[in-house]
Chains A and B, each alone.
Chain A
Amino acid sequence: MDTVPADGLLSASWLLIALPLAGAAVLLLGGRRTDRWGHLLGTGTVVAAFVLALACTLQLDERQVAVDLFTFIDSGSLDVRAGLLFDPLSAVFVLLITGVGALIHVYSIGYMAHDPRRRRFFAYLNLFVAAMLLLVLGDNYVALYVGWEGVGLASYLLIAFWHERPAAATAAKKAFIMNRVGDVGLALAIFVMFAQLGTVTYEGVFGSVGLLAGGTVTAIGLLLLLGACGKSGQFPLQAWLPDAMEGPTPVSALIHAATMVTAGVYLIARSAPIYDLTETARTVVLAVGAVTLLIGAIAGCAYDDIKKVLAYSTVSQIGYMFLAVGLGPVGYAAAIAHLLAHGFFKAGLFLGAGSVMHAMDDQVDMRRFGGLARKLPVTFVTFGLGYLALIGFPFLSGYWTKDAIIEAALDHGGAWGWVLGGVAVLGAGLTAFYMTRLMLMTFFGRARWAPSAPGRPTPHPHESPSVMTSPMVVLAIGSVAAGFLLVQAFPLDEWLTPVFGEPEEAEHVVAPALVGIVVTAVMALGVLAAWLFVGRREVPAVAPERVSVVTRAARKALYADTINESLFMRPGQWLTRALVWVDNRGVDGAVNGMAAALGGSSSRLGRTQTGFVRTYALGMLGGAVLVAGALLAVTAG
């Protein structure tokens, strides 16, 4: 389908980005004057953007609409325009970002009410929304890259929001650096596209990518994948995401669960015409997805920090999405559907976790929770619905969207199909286990509440104010309904047809009904196991030391940090120290030595200023004589 110029309301779709950006600018430049109403302005801009996004989407009618703004960089044969592309794919992302974004802004009004820097928090959140919208609305890879690093900055600022805590500052830096590793891949992919095709627009690249040699296309695919892995916390760049939980919980919900970390899925889905041409790159995407979904699920089983469990769950669920996009045309729509459903239930789960922390004096250790169901009824019910949606309880969101991915994986065919399907089913069982463990440790059993620090009172849990619970209720409704709506009622794959082409009816290796039954059974096993291991017994206040090798590895998230540190960080520090020594002694020393040999000693040369000025004058004189002599010689000769 061809792209048409924007008309009517759609030509104002740049306002989607401009509104939150203006909000951020006013809040940051306005200073303390905006303290009293800053949060309202911040929320207002995102709500307005959501309304505009709804109106734009209704006008879209399955078209692909281009909005040309201005020349960004035009030099030589490179022409990068600031242009937007509003099509069915970007529309669903825009709705997700502004919709969930608006709810989380509302929630943050309550959550950050007592923080002296609340205004700045809203400024950064607005900045994030603007950058994220640019990422999904740009009509070329450079615009995507600008948004891509823009959300990275917002993520950095928000993880380090409580920057007095060294852990938060370090986590923010780690996130930025690991993302930059991925960004190198994305940047190189853009360079290859420009060098080979002379263009970086989606339209131009997709139109002519077929003319390239297979190896080049594969290289582009793999480089894009590297970028996607960095942003989406996928293997081998997954270690930053759990650490990012140092940020305030609304940030975890919006950026590190619902939107930013799914940008990698967007990138690959958007680049579908490239991946369609390279089986190799697709296979690597599949492998990355499968490996990551297991790593995340295994680590999720072992952590006691409620936010880290949810973070590893996010890593794992995005692994499902990567698996789906790696399958090619049959998986794109399934991946996006799971992404949207995940956006609802995971954001809801994080907001619920924030509500629990709010009640428990900002503690996150689930071993000190327990019995909160009765104290926090709204949180319990909304969190519970999100939990059921995530583990794939029949007919809730996760059931529809995850089953679609598992079916598609099995349909991939052959041994590879069985492996992928098996991994996905196993992941579903593990998901049920770690989420049930989380529910049991948090909401059920005996209350194990304890002071957050010596001298603090033991927390007296209370339900959060309605400004916080209302967004949780809305997201819970979404968690229940989104899957059915997206898969059955208004099939997403039909909506996305203009982008991904007609959905094809795959040959089923295993009957869908059977898949549904098996997955549900495995899920039930996971729940049962969690009840047997956690629910039946008393939860120890301190994590047991004597555990199996597997548990120990899971607690270390399969040693990802250890590997990074011993492979990159420590050798890097050693190299830096060695080079500093070399530069001071070697390079500089050689030059100083040369100077000493030529002009006596450098110390004598520079001992006194007057002496030096004489030297200088002498030098100038000598130079002038030299010039005059040479010129005379030349003209005379």
Chain B
Amino acid sequence: MNSFPFLLLMIVVPAVGAAVVAALPRGRDLLAKQIALGVSLVVLLLAVLATVAFDTDGDRFQLTSSVSWIDDFGVSFALGVDGIALVMLLLVGVLVPVVIGASWDDEPVGNRSMTVFFAWILLLEAMMVGVFAATDVFLFYVFFEAMLVPMYFLIGSFGGPRRQYAAVKFFLYSLVGGLIMLAAVIGLYVVSANQGEGSFAFEVLNAIDIDPDVQKLLFLGFFVAFAIKAPLVPFHTWLPDAGAEAPVGGAVLLVGVLDKVGTFGFLRYCLPLFPDASRDFAPYVLVLAVAGVLYAALLAMGQSDMKRLVSYTSVAHFGFIALGIFAFTTEAGTGAVLYMVNHGIATGLLFLVVGMLIARGGSRRIADYGGVAAQAPVLAGVFLIAGLASLALPGTNSFVSEFLVLVGSFPTRPVFTILATVGIILAALYVLLMYQRTMHGPVRGLMDGQGLTTPGTGEPTAPAGSSGATSATATATATATATATATATETVTSARWMPDLSRREIAVAAPLVALIIALGVYPQPLIDLIEPAVAATVDDVGGDPGGTVPEIGTNGADTSGAETEAGN
């Protein structure tokens, strides 16, 4: 079973699917959706089978395959997964079909074809699988950059009114990070070449010793790229724009998976390859992480746009993940990886349900909603579950990961942990404020009158800084705004009934709700998958892979030795 090329298929199948969907003639939208859904379900099945084939007690990298690609420079098309990559692949496998289902009835912007949308989604899936499955640093870089293309077009072609601005901003940020990383990738090759044969293979690079000063430079090269991708403050400002303007399906994949490549990169590349530099820079990274937890949470509270709000909450969550990674303990690292998965599920659901709300009300502004719970109780219920998962309520999946991150970081980094723990109050505030304003209270706002004609296009008034929008689009938006405003003022008295979730929407939300509860009650199977790889990483960076060993009082008596041993 182990020789079966799961990973290769998980790249090839969606890539071929994307080509097929893209080649369909215009107007065959339904067929395109069906193919896309089918392909994504095949990938999910492959991911599940790969998990079954994966042996948690086996080698670190499994399901490996390697084909020499550019012989001269030792580049190979090498794939393989450890537990960390595997759970990310599972997340990709789950989210893509959900996103396709959620985008099923989306209307394209302008005269674009929705078949193209689904083709980009499938291509993106192939790239995302590649970036997590690559065990060759150069291959990783290629996927890391190539991943931008489908996401750029998803935002730029199918997004909200400021989609051009947001897409360019997203692209520029990523490109800058990517180029810096490229320099570091080359540098890494140079170092390995100086110590023997030049290689890009992760396991070769992991084995060599790098001079501490060189480590620092290379670390920074990788770190900046990853800190932009999984935005840490102050590299985060592209995310609220991209998250808000992206179509909802794109936003789910952007925040749910794409950004995790950054935190994944910290764990896979920064810590094992540059352990000394990681230790040196850890305090600074932790400052950024904890600043992100608090700063982004406060910013989330101040947002008037729901999608921007959810984007900011993600920045705060990435702060927690970075804290867990740079605390260098097995508990916190495991929590961080689990957090990556759980955040994809919880925030994915939050984005989806916000999208469902926007599709009904025609506005992204919180102030345009009110009292939705009375009209659409199922929608409100799903919204609440997503929100509670976002604030890490026990019983939801996010609690387990947040708890592990904090409890695991506390022994090594008490001050940072205490500050981050205060963030859980802010999380409750931003979630419940948004929930109360939109769902509770008397029915008000847009729902009293006529919504905008084109659902999902979002905030009608493009701010002055929307320099990215083409002049044609800007004019069109302005016209639409004028018309919509006029209609809204005329018909403000006629209350509009907000329909509850349709069967399709329930089918889209149900798997994520089920996962939120299931992983909140019984997370251990995932922890068992993740922990060996995290322990190996913690070992690389000089922490105790068996877990933090408490020393009781001042006499150093160790009463928990047995438990610590068990952790190994």
Contacts and interface: CB of A to CB of B under 8 A. Distances in A.
A177 interface: yes
B178 to A, nearest CB: 8
B567 A580 contact: no
A71 interface: yes
B512 to A, nearest CB: 16
Interface in A184-214: 184, 187-188, 190-192, 194-199, 208, 211-213
A607 interface: yes
Nearest to A160: B440
Interface in A31-89: 70-79
A621 interface: no
Contacts of B302: 576-577, 579-580
B566 interface: yes
A634 interface: yes
Given A76-B408, A623-B179, A631-B73, A605 B425 contact: no
In this complex, the interface size class of chain A, counting residues with CB under 8 Å from chain B, is 35 or more
Contacts of B548: 76-77, 195
Contacts of A76: 329-331, 334, 408, 531, 535, 546-548, 567
B175 A619 contact: yes
Given A73-B524, A74-B527, A635-B73, A603 B425 contact: no
B334 A75 contact: yes
B524 A74 contact: yes
Given A160-B440, A198-B550, A153 B560 contact: no
A575 B295 CA distance: 10
A221 to B, nearest CB: 16
A191 B417 CA distance: 9
Interface in A578-637: 579-580, 583, 587-588, 591-592, 595, 599, 601-603, 605-609, 612, 616, 619-620, 623, 626-627, 630-631, 634-635
B179 A579 contact: no
Interface stretch (B10-18, B216-224, B551-559): B551-559
Contacts of B331: 75-78
Contacts of A588: 237
B563 A77 contact: yes
Contact of B553 (A198, A212, A591, A623): A212
B564 A77 contact: yes
A118 interface: no
B557 A211 contact: yes
Interface string B392-409: 011100011001101110
Interface in B302-342: 302-303, 329-331, 334-335
A143 B64 CA distance: 40
A555 interface: no
A531 interface: no
Contact of A211 (B152, B165, B468, B559): B559
A28 B517 CA distance: 14
A170 B298 CA distance: 19
B335 A164 contact: no
Interface in B518-568: 522-524, 527, 531, 535, 546-550, 552-555, 557, 559-560, 563-564, 566-567
Interface residues of B, number: 98
Contacts of A195: 410-411, 414, 548, 550
Contacts of A110: none
B172 A198 contact: no
A149 interface: yes
Contacts of B400: 73
Given A73-B527, A576-B298, A635-B198, A606 B164 contact: yes
B441 A153 contact: no
Interface string B143-186: 00100010010001000000011011101110100110010001
Contacts of A216: 553
Interface in B188-205: 189-190, 193, 198
Nearest to B173: A591
B527 to A, nearest CB: 5
Interface in B372-386: 373-374, 377, 381
B9 interface: no
A213 to B, nearest CB: 5
A145 B424 CA distance: 14
A606 B470 CA distance: 8
Interface string A137-175: 000001001101110010010001001111011101100
A263 B167 CA distance: 51
Contacts of A181: 425
Interface string B418-443: 10011011001100110010011110
Given A575-B298, A631-B189, A635-B73, A169 B552 contact: no
A150 B182 CA distance: 48
B373 A163 contact: yes
Given A163-B374, A212-B552, A197 B559 contact: yes
A73 to B, nearest CB: 6
B488 interface: no
A630 B200 CA distance: 14
A208 B559 contact: yes
A139 B563 CA distance: 18
A73 B404 contact: yes
Contacts of A572: 298
A595 B165 CA distance: 13
What is the predominant secondary structure among interface residues of chain A facing chain B? Answer: helix
B411 A607 contact: no
B213 interface: no
Given A177-B428, A195-B410, A195-B414, A635 B546 contact: no
B186 A630 contact: yes
B301 interface: yes
B237 A612 contact: no
B524 A72 contact: yes
B467 interface: yes
B234 A587 contact: yes
A631 B72 contact: yes
Nearest to B384: A157
Contacts of B522: 70, 72
Nearest to B530: A75
A163 B440 contact: yes
Contacts of A484: none
Contacts of A579: 295, 298-299, 302
A180 interface: yes
A572 to B, nearest CB: 8
Contact of B566 (A79, A187, A635): A79
A626 B182 CA distance: 9
B550 A609 contact: no
Contacts of B237: 583, 587-588, 591
A199 B535 CA distance: 20
A73 B467 contact: no
A18 to B, nearest CB: 12
A523 B558 CA distance: 55
Interface in B231-277: 233-234, 236-237
A587 B422 CA distance: 24
A627 B411 contact: no
Contact of B299 (A164, A576, A602, A634): A576
Given A184-B422, A191-B410, A577-B302, A77 B555 contact: no
Interface of B: 72-73, 145, 149, 152, 156, 164-165, 167-169, 171-173, 175, 178-179, 182, 186, 189-190, 193, 198, 233-234, 236-237, 295, 298-299, 301-303, 329-331, 334-335, 371, 373-374, 377, 381, 388, 393-395, 399-400, 403-404, 406-408, 410-411, 414, 417-418, 421-422, 424-425, 428-429, 432-433, 436, 439-442, 465, 467-468, 470, 522-524, 527, 531, 535, 546-550, 552-555, 557, 559-560, 563-564, 566-567
Q: Which 5 A-B pairs have the closest CB atoms?
A: A76-B547, A77-B547, A198-B560, A603-B467, A606-B168
Given A191-B406, A191-B407, A607-B468, 6 more contacts: A75-B408, A77-B567, A153-B388, A164-B440, A164-B442, A184-B425
10 contacts: A75-B335, A77-B547, A183-B424, A195-B410, A576-B298, A580-B302, A602-B468, A606-B167, A609-B156, A634-B190
